[in-house]
Amino acid sequence: MLRSVILAASRSTRVERLVATAPFTRDVVRRFVAGEGTDDALRATRELVADGLTVTLDNLGEDVVTAEQAAATRDEYRTLLGVLRAAGLTPAAEVSVKLSALGQRVDEQLAYDNAKAVCVAAQEAGTTVTLDMEDHTTTDSTLDILARLREDHPSTGAVLQAYLRRTESDCRDLATAGSRVRLCKGAYKEPESVAYQAARDVDKSYVRCLNILMAGDGYPMLATHDPRMIAIGEDRARWFDRGPDRFEFQMLYGIRPEEQARLVAEGHTVRTYLPYGQDWYGYLMRRLAERPANLAFFGRALASK
Ligand code: FDA
């Protein structure tokens, strides 16, 4: 119920204005987002890499409605990739892109062209791109664009969401040599017709999908903070003899940093998903919807003002 309310608020411009202008917001945002500019992203990436982590950077933004906005996002990614390369932070750092921020809702070909330009820049910088997955109405389009991008840039990665009923089948299709798949539970409000609703069913689907990816020939990226899913991932890595160059764990910036450090110390590859940029509202609201403890953090920041 609470999750539904927050996810509904994540789409409200009125609530967005209220949250964005509230005095406590800055502290809350800072926990989950590196900052607003490329410099902030670079500084946070340096710190994470120095701690033995790898990084994927997300320039925050979604639901772009004009070709000009989409081009601006594309150019920000190209600038970022150049900066990361110049700082010697590739290939430890790669980028994650939302196709909606590259114009997917304006025109699929436009999103493909922009994503292709980002892939070219990533290749020049010696690193990779992973396509984030948004709500289920975009899944087919995103996987079609992924297939086209992989013709010239085979290391382009995809995100699959375990809460979707279709995802086991998508995992089977993508568990092939050279394919990089980030498996997460899923963060959007989806109807019962396409998505499991009970947390237990989502978890069971996550394990089935994890098994398919770990048994397959691709490169699994297990994106979760869930201790049970992480333990199962560690177990399957031993079973399938997958070392740190054959799969990785991924977590969001600011969430369970001590667990990220523990996994690094155990010898695993761990990638932190690092968002930055001005358009942080939708991202922040999805994080708050995921976990009541995050809301308590929000409340504490409010109370301290
Ligand atoms: P869940 O939220 O079910 O939590 C399970 C358990 O994990 C909790 O009970 C607790 O023990 C622990 N836990 C979780 N959060 C914690 C916290 N803040 N502090 C301490 N313990 C905590 N989604 C999407 O739809 N499209 C996408 O492209 C992506 N991309 C993406 C990339 C990466 C790298 C990650 C990690 C996640 C995504 N997501 C995503 C988000 C994802 O779908 C999901 O919403 C969140 O990761 C939360 O799910 P968990 O698997 O962490 O478990």
User: pLDDT digit string (tens) for 127-162?
Assistant: 999 999 999 999 999 999 999 999 999 999 999 999
pLDDT at 304: 47
Domain span including residue 78: 36-278
User: How many angstroms does the Cα of residue 224 sit away from the middle of ligand 1?
Assistant: 5
The pLDDT of residue 124 is: 98
* Identity of the amino acid at 95: V
Q: Give tens-digit pLDDT for 78-118.
A: 999 999 999 999 999 999 999 999 999 999 999 999 999 99
Q: Are residues 201 and 117 in the same domain?
A: yes
If asked whether residues 152 and 25 sit together in one domain, one would say no
What is the whole-number distance in angstroms between the Cα of residue 186 and the centre of ligand 1?
Answer: 8
Mutate to test the pocket of ligand 1, among 2, 10, 56, 225 (most ligand atoms within 8 A of CB): 225
pLDDT of residue 28: 72
185 CA to middle of ligand 1, Å?
Answer: 7
**CATH for 167:** 3.20.20.220
Is residue 300 predicted with pLDDT exceeding 80? no
Residue 289's pLDDT is: 80
- Per-residue pLDDT band for 279 (boundaries 50, 70, 90) equals confident
pTM of the model: 0.92
Shared domain for 56 and 205, answered yes or no, is yes
Instruction: Say if residue 299 is in the same domain as residue 242.
Output: no
Give 17 or 124, the one with higher predicted confidence. Answer: 124
Ligand 1, atom 12, lies closest to the CA of 226
Say if ligand 1 is within 6 A of residue 156 CB: no
The reported pLDDT for the residue numbered 283 is 83
221 and 291 share one domain: no
Nearest alpha carbon, ligand 1 atom 32: 223
Number of C-beta neighbours around residue 293 at 10 A: 9
Q: Are residues 110 and 228 in the same domain?
A: yes
Determine whether the shortest distance from the Cβ of 291 to ligand 1 is under 6 A.
yes
For 255, which DSSP code?
A: S
Pocket of ligand 1 contains residue 190 by CB under 6 Å: no
Asked if 22 and 86 sit in the same domain, the reply is: no
Of the chain, the percentage scoring pLDDT greater than 90 comes to 78
The mean per-residue pLDDT over the stretch 226-240 comes to 98
Atom of ligand 1 nearest to the CA of 254: 18
Decide whether any atom of ligand 1 lies within 6 Å of the 250 Cβ: yes
Reply yes or no on whether the pLDDT at 248 is more than 70: yes
Look up the ipTM and state it. Answer: 0.97
Contacts of 32 (CB under 8 A, 6+ apart): 252, 253, 254, 255, 275, 280, 283, 284, 287
Residues 169-202 pLDDT 10s: 999 999 999 999 999 999 999 999 999 999 999 9
φ, ψ dihedrals at 250, nearest 5°: -135, 140
* Same-domain check for residues 145 and 6: no
Alpha helices in 33-105 (DSSP H): 38-50, 67-86
* 273 ligand 1 Cβ < 6 A: yes
Q: Whose CA is nearest to atom 14 of ligand 1?
A: 225
Query: Are 144 and 10 in the same domain?
Result: no
Which residues participate in catalysis according to the annotation? 132, 182
Q: What is the pLDDT of residue 305?
A: 42
Task: Specify the number of domains making up the chain.
Answer: 2
Binding residues for substrate: 98, 286-287
**Domain co-membership, 295 together with 209:** no
Reported as a pLDDT band with limits 50, 70 and 90, residue 293 is low
Judge if 130 and 263 occupy the same domain. Answer: yes
Look at the alpha carbons of 56, 61, 67, 71 in this order and tell me if their dihedral is positive or negative: negative
Could you tell me if 142 and 6 lie in one domain? no
